[in-house]
Amino acid sequence: MSKLLKKIPAAALSLVTLLLIQCATEPSSPKELALNQPVVVKRSSGGLVYPANNIPLKNMFGVNSYEWNFLENPATPNEHSSIYEDNMALIKSFGAVRHYMNWNKLENTQGNYTYNPTNNGSWNYDLIYTRCQQEGILVLADLKNLPVWMMNTYPADERDDENVPAPYGSDRTKPNSYIAQARTAFQFAARYGYNKAVDPALVKVDSRPRWNNDKPNTVKIGMSLIRYIECGNENDRWWKGDKATQTPEEYAANLSAFYDGHKGALGRDAGVKTADPAMQVVMGGLATADTNYVQRMINWCKINRGYKADGKVNLCFDVINYHLYSNNGSILTHKKASTGMAPEFSEAAGIADSFIKVANGIPVWVTETGYDVNPESYQHAPSILHKSPLLVQGDWIIRSSLLYIRHGIQRLFFYQLFDAFPGKGEQYATSGLAEGIKRRPAADYIMQTNKLMGSYLYKGTINGNPLVDKFQSGKKTIYVLTVPDSQGRTAAYFLDLGNAKSAIIHMLKVGSDTMESKIVVTKKGKLPVIVTETPVFIEAGL
């Protein structure tokens, strides 16, 4: 049976699966159940392979993007005052956006802040964030890279906008070396945060028009649009040398300034928390997903920030954050990969567990993961039997979401909305989830899953191979079944739906806003399913 199914095209496979479901009978022994020998997974005492954590599935569907993804219409590329609705329709497929926000946009000249429009690029951040809030899209604003005026403090042959965010020659171990960035963070939090009581005397914009009829920037306080801000991006970037790479202690000093002006020592106008104590500070995503980096930051905080009244370390971050791309290399040893890898076969699960352990209750996010579709990239999703790289990318994107929610990661963001360099073979050049004004299968799958069950909470995994994940919303239950493999393997599974007399099988469908669904009858609450490497969603009847 498994060999037959492997030869059936994807479109037909779903129909065959449904026919098999309707006519299958429960096997008399475990040997008859397995189409391939499954890996035996040890259950916990509660009968679950992975325990419940009540994280909503929609938290796993974030995307990385830029301001031009929202505002730049190819027909009018210099007009940035309105939302480009074709792109917005794509962005609404996702539950959250990580906004790559270059510092130079906010502070094009030192001490002069602009947002609406930005002096650099004429982007309208107020409009982007307001629209995201209206659409129910969470925004993580990632303040990254050096402004030109700071980059120019470096010798000409060392200038790079990814250098350490302090003037050249600064003592990078001291929080006050990062005061300029901390002041920008204060201004951003004062404007877009939820605190309406910020002293207006401390809030600044550059209101000077750049030309005739230029719209001037105006001061706004507590717009209640942003709850999360990230400090930098991959500040441990080893590949750019010392000028651009911070040690854990240097980054902790940087983050302490950014967080609350190093506990207020840098003045009333420095630090996110100084402007809005409720805004959450996310540490910059680590390029090397090594918990030792985080532990050394925590140790720095013990020495330099001390302890709170409740005995907890006075940390300079609210969320731990790292990046990981699943492949056959190793991020911990920097062993270069040759191909992308199904998430279940990669380092992803073990690294997630290690971060959850060191976090000790602090939320952990993964703000970059994904797959290229160009086979020349070492991060590419390959073809598997009848499936093209685009289809495999779609499968592995959804399976990445399921993997990370199993392991307690609270938010996941994919890289990225569009290809960075369409058609190019470099790593991360063709990771886009959309192309032109059309979703790729990965974005189709995300939109469909979000629409079906984005609000459902993860209630544990009841089987390991095939994987059977359980999600609930009130009295409704949906199981997600997946074969965790990368060879076109199938497996039979008998799903116990209790007293349900019927079930709805939902299947991912390329090019559609919604899944393909079919009602089936159970046999005394049992439902036989042929599971494939594309997740299938089974909703228990009430």
Count CB neighbours of 108 within 10 A: 18
Percent of the chain residues past pLDDT 70, beyond the cut: 91
Mean pLDDT of the chain: 92
- Whether residue 294 is predicted with pLDDT greater than 50 in this model: the reply is yes
d(CA 393, CA 431): 9
What are the tens digits of pLDDT across the range 423-432?
Answer: 999 999 999 9
Contact at 8 Å (CB) between 36 and 491? Answer: yes
- Looking at this protein, which amino acid is placed at residue 264? G
Contact at 8 Å (CB) between 450 and 58? Answer: yes
Percent of the chain residues past pLDDT 90, beyond the cut: 91
- Whether residue 278 is predicted with pLDDT greater than 90 in this model: the reply is yes
In sign, the C-alpha dihedral spanning 502, 18, 539, 465 is: positive
The beta strands (E) that lie in 103-219 are given as: 138-144
pLDDT band at 541 (very low <50, low <70, confident <90, very high): confident
Among candidates 158, 141, 140, 161, which has minimal Cα distance to 149? Answer: 161
d(CA 413, CA 353): 18
Q: Is 154 exposed, middle or buried (0-12, 13-18, 19+ CB in 10 A)?
A: middle
Q: What is the CATH number of domain 62-208+220-453?
A: 3.20.20.80
Q: Average pLDDT for residues 319-329, to the nearest whole number?
A: 98
Checking 17-24 for CB contacts under 8 A at 24+ apart, the result is: 17/507, 17/529, 17/530, 17/532, 17/536, 18/505, 18/518, 18/520, 20/528, 20/530, 21/505, 21/520, 21/527, 21/528, 21/529, 21/530, 22/520, 22/521, 24/492, 24/528, 24/530
Q: What is the CATH number of domain 2-52+459-540?
A: 2.60.40
Entry field: residues in the chain: 542
What are the tens digits of pLDDT across the range 356-407?
Answer: 999 999 999 999 999 999 999 999 999 999 999 999 999 999 999 999 999 9
pLDDT band at 44 (very low <50, low <70, confident <90, very high): very low
pLDDT band at 47 (very low <50, low <70, confident <90, very high): confident
Q: Which pLDDT score is estimated for 46?
A: 55
Among candidates 368, 393, 438, which has minimal Cα distance to 140? Answer: 368
- Whether residue 303 is predicted with pLDDT greater than 50 in this model: the reply is yes
Q: Average pLDDT for residues 318-341, to the nearest whole number?
A: 97
d(CA 312, CA 382): 46
- Whether residue 88 is predicted with pLDDT greater than 70 in this model: the reply is yes
Domain boundaries of the chain, sorted by first residue: 2-52+459-540, 62-208+220-453
Among candidates 444, 414, 385, which has minimal Cα distance to 326? Answer: 414
- Whether residue 239 is predicted with pLDDT greater than 60 in this model: the reply is yes
What are the tens digits of pLDDT across the range 418-472?
Answer: 999 999 999 999 999 999 999 999 999 999 999 999 999 999 999 999 999 999 9
